[in-house]
Structure 1
Amino acid sequence: MYKYLIILIALISFSGFQQKQKKVLIIGDSISIGYTPFVKEALADKATVVHNEGNGQHTGNGLKKLDSWLNDEKWDVIQFNWGLWDLCYRSPNSKEQGNRDKINGKITYSVEEYQQNLEQLVKKLKMTGAKLIFVTTSYVPENEAGRFAGDELKYNKVAKQIMKENGILVNDIWKTTKKIHKKQGQALNNVHYTPEGYKQIADKITSFLKKEL
């Protein structure tokens, strides 16, 4: 009898441990794709972390694909970001990667369009019942071919206001990414980071998520 009691207690304990595992969905662009593996590793004992399929790109892409990314799953936490693609200028004649061209190109979404799209996305995300966390758009270096440095601050300001109005948490990573980019940016004209840079960004993401899990 004592033996079976021990087994029962062990099973209950194991079941309780399993229930503590949370489901986290990260929605974002290539910056989030870069840091997500480090976040997964850091939270392995606390949560199952999943990134949306492919690159989240801009808010227009989010409106088209959000339902498929949510996939009728019951998410405990959804961390999301759009911005870098929205504020990017592109021209079909540009030879830069992604046809980026802030001189002759056309912006993907203006601040006003970004606001409208993000408000729709937030409305959909709130319907999931998950705890929502918005991550601000990361640093844009001065020499980036398709983006004007400082535009991300304008988009972040709009986004943070939307989050405030909807009671959504904000993890503001802009200052952190600016600091990290100085030593761990891929180049002075590139918004991306070295593996070490992504690891450092992941530390801030992980720290924030741990408090909310």
Structure 2
Amino acid sequence: MKKRLFLILTISLCAILVGFDQDDRPNVLIIGDSISLGYTPYVKQALQDRAKVVHNKGNAQHTGTGLEKLDEWLGDTQWDVIHFNWGLWDLCYRHPDSKEVGNRDKINGTLTYTPEAYGANLEKLVLRLKQTGARLIFATTTYVPENEVGRFVGSDVTYNKVAMAIMKKHGVAVNRLNPLSRKIHRKHAAGPGDVHYTKEGYRLLAQPVIKKIRRSLEAP
């Protein structure tokens, strides 16, 4: 009798502990390059009581990397919301002999992906993401400033036009980070000609990301 009672109590305690360990918050995946890596911690903090927010492992780089690794990043998790972007790496010129970070060189380098190739890759990625059943949010590519050694001014606008057409075609929500990033960059650029931001810049960039994800989570 005592053994039976002990067994019942043990099973009950295990069930309680398992219940405590369960986390039924929605799953949110952020896919993107170093810009998204900069704002993701602020998104996590703001939504920690509402959702489990994770970033893809490492830097999502360009659409070619996305096509190669997307299945790995998605894994077996049932994602509720996926906020994603590719672009800054796609429109970048690189040369193996360049001494700049990432071998950037818009004078002698080779373009990673033309707008047409970027669009073709991006559409394949969107079709794969739609298969997850998650609510999708595409973030427009952030600002390319003057004197960026591997990127031409205005290329962000060109690539965003391509991306916007694809998102419209497939009914994907858009987070228009580009216009805001231009304003933020004036005061919070990491440096002259740098596409990156200070901590405050990333905190400000995180605000529309938080808002968009929260709205997606609350949508019926």
User: Is the TM value for this pair above 0.5?
Assistant: yes
Question: 1:7: which partner in 2?
Answer: none
Question: 2:63: which partner in 1?
Answer: 59
Question: 1:137: which partner in 2?
Answer: 141
CA distance in 2, matches of 1:124, 1:72: 14
CA distance in 1, matches of 2:192, 2:179: 16
Q: Choose which of 161, 169, 174 in structure 2 pairs with 1:170.
A: 174
Correspondence 1:41 to 2:34: no
Task: Tell me the amino acid that sits aligned with residue 47 of structure 2.
Answer: L
Correspondence 1:153 to 2:157: yes
CA distance in 2, matches of 1:210, 1:160: 22
Give 1:188 shift: 2.0
DSSP-derived class of the 1:142 partner? coil
Figure out how many residues of one structure are paired with residues of the other and give that number: 199
Question: 1:79: which partner in 2?
Answer: 83
Equivalent positions of 1:84-103 (< 5 A) are 84-103=88-107
Q: Greater CA deviation, 203-212 or 164-173?
A: 203-212
Question: 2:33: which partner in 1?
Answer: 29
Which segments of structure 1 move beyond 6 Å, counting only runs of 4 or more? none
CA distance in 2, matches of 1:99, 1:124: 30
Q: Choose which of 122, 128, 131 in structure 1 pairs with 2:126.
A: 122
Give 1:22 shift: 1.1
Unaligned stretches of 5+ residues in structure 1 = 1-10
Q: Deviations over 1:113-141 (max 9, x none)?
A: 00110011011111111100000000000
Give 1:189 shift: 0.9
Length-normalised TM-score, structure 1: 0.91
Correspondence 1:187 to 2:191: yes
What RMSD, in angstroms, separates the aligned Cα atoms of the two structures?
A: 1.5
CA distance in 2, matches of 1:204, 1:123: 24
DSSP-derived class of the 1:193 partner? coil
CA distance in 2, matches of 1:169, 1:194: 27
CA distance in 1, matches of 2:204, 2:93: 28
DSSP-derived class of the 1:78 partner? strand
CA distance in 2, matches of 1:29, 1:208: 19
Task: Tell me the amino acid that sits aligned with residue 149 of structure 1.
Answer: V
Give 1:210 shift: 1.2
CA distance in 1, matches of 2:206, 2:52: 15
CA distance in 1, matches of 2:212, 2:120: 27
Task: Tell me the amino acid that sits aligned with residue 103 of structure 1.
Answer: I
Q: Deviations over 1:130-178 (max 9, x none)?
A: 1000000000001100000110111001101100000100001101001
